[in-house]
Amino acid sequence: MSDTPAGESPTTLIATVIEKYADQLIDFRRDLHAHPELAWTEARTTGKVIDALAGTDWEVTEIAGGGLIAEIGTGERRVALRADLDALPVEDLTKDPWASTIPGVAHACGHDVHTAALVGAALAINEVQASGLLHGRVRLLFQPAEEIMPGGALHLIQAGVLDDVHQVFGLHCDPSLDVGRLGLREGPLTGAADSLFVRLGGKGGHTSRPHLTEDLTFALGKLITELPAILSRRLDPRAGVSVVWGMVQAGAAANVIPGRGTLAGTVRMLDAVAWADAEHLVRTLVGQIVAPYGVSAEVTYQRGVPPVVNDVAATAILAGAVERVLGYHGHVSTTQSLGGEDFGWYLDRIPGSMARLGTRTPGGPTYDLHQGNLRVDERATCIGARVLAEAAVAALTG
C-alpha cells in the first residue's frame, strides 16, 4: 500500500522522492567516482546498482558478460531508460575527496552521473508504480562498455533488451552547459565514428635510389592528405566527413627508405547514409592512392557507432519532462557533435531521444569530457533523475 496522498501527480511524487534521496544519490555518485571501472570490468558498479534497487519492486536481471536490466510495471507498452557504467583510462586530476582511488582510471565522461541519475529515476518510478500512476512498463538499461568500439550497446541489444520496447531515453553530461539546463535536438545529435588502421609494405632501400625501391614514406604522405581530400569529393559534403590521423610511423634513419609503415586515425561523419558507404569507399581509395608507388596496403577498418538520431516525438516527451522539472527555460537547443556515442545503436532499432545534461556551475569553469580535470556540478544528478523519471512516465501516459 502506498501512503501517497490521494490525487498527487506523478510530477509531485517524483520531485518528493528525489528530494528525499538527494544526499544519498550524490553519495552514490561520489562512491562510483572514487571506484571507477573500465569497459567490461564494471562488476563493482553493477553490484552497487543492484544494492540500490534492493527493497524496491524493480525486477533485476544481470546480463551475461556485463550490464544489467531492471523492469517494473504491467501492460503492453514499455519504455526504456539507459545509463552507461564505464570509466576511462585517464588520470583523475581533481583532488576532490571523492577523486578516483584507481591510478590511471577516472570517470572523465560523467558516466557516474548517468548511473546515479538512473538509480534516482528508478527510486522515483518505484513510488509512481506503488501509487498506481504508472501506465505500462519501464525497463532500465545499465550498459557496460560505452567507451570502446564496438560498445556495450550492441551486447545488450543482442541479449534482447530492446524486445517489445517502444521508446528509449538517455542523458549525457555536457560540461559546456550550465546545471539546470538540458540541451535537446531533434534529428542527429552525435556523429558516426569509426577507426582506421593502415599498414603499408614495400621494398625499402637507399634514399639515393628511390626508383629502385617502393618509396613507402612518399606513398604514406600521399595517403595522409589524399584520403581526406578524395573523401570530401566522393561523399556528400553535408555528411561532414572528417578523417584525422592520430598516429603515423615509418622509418628510423634519414637515408633509408623503410619497408614498413603504419598510420591510424578516426573517420567521423554527421550522416548515417554516408556512413553506410564509408568503409567500402575508404578501403578502395587507400589501395588506389598507394598503387602508383607499388606499395601494398592492408586496411583494418573498425566500424564504430552510427550517429545518435533523436526521434521528433520522443524529443518532445523529453522537452515536456524538462519543463515539468525546470520550467520552460530549462531546455535549450544543442548542436550536433562529431563525438561518438553508442546510444546510436539503440536508436538504429527503435525511436528515442538523448538529451545533454548541463553540469557546469554557472559562472564556473568549462571543462571538457575525457579530461582528468572534469568536475560536475552535483545538482545535475538529481535533475537528471527527475527528467528521466518524468520522461518514462509521460511516454507511457502519452
**Positions in the binding site for Ni ion (CB under 5 A):** 109
Nearest residue to Ni ion, by Cβ distance, number only: 109
Q: Which is nearer to Ni ion, 109 or 165 (CB)?
A: 109
Q: Which is nearer to Ni ion, 75 or 104 (CB)?
A: 104
Least distance between Ni ion and beta carbon 200 (Å):
33
Least distance between Ni ion and beta carbon 114 (Å):
8
Burial of 372 (0-12, 13-18, 19+ CB in 10 A): middle
Q: Which is nearer to Ni ion, 109 or 391 (CB)?
A: 109
Least distance between Ni ion and beta carbon 82 (Å):
12
Least distance between Ni ion and beta carbon 370 (Å):
8
Least distance between Ni ion and beta carbon 225 (Å):
31
Least distance between Ni ion and beta carbon 117 (Å):
13
Q: Which is nearer to Ni ion, 114 or 181 (CB)?
A: 114
Q: Which is nearer to Ni ion, 308 or 325 (CB)?
A: 308
Q: Which is nearer to Ni ion, 87 or 322 (CB)?
A: 87
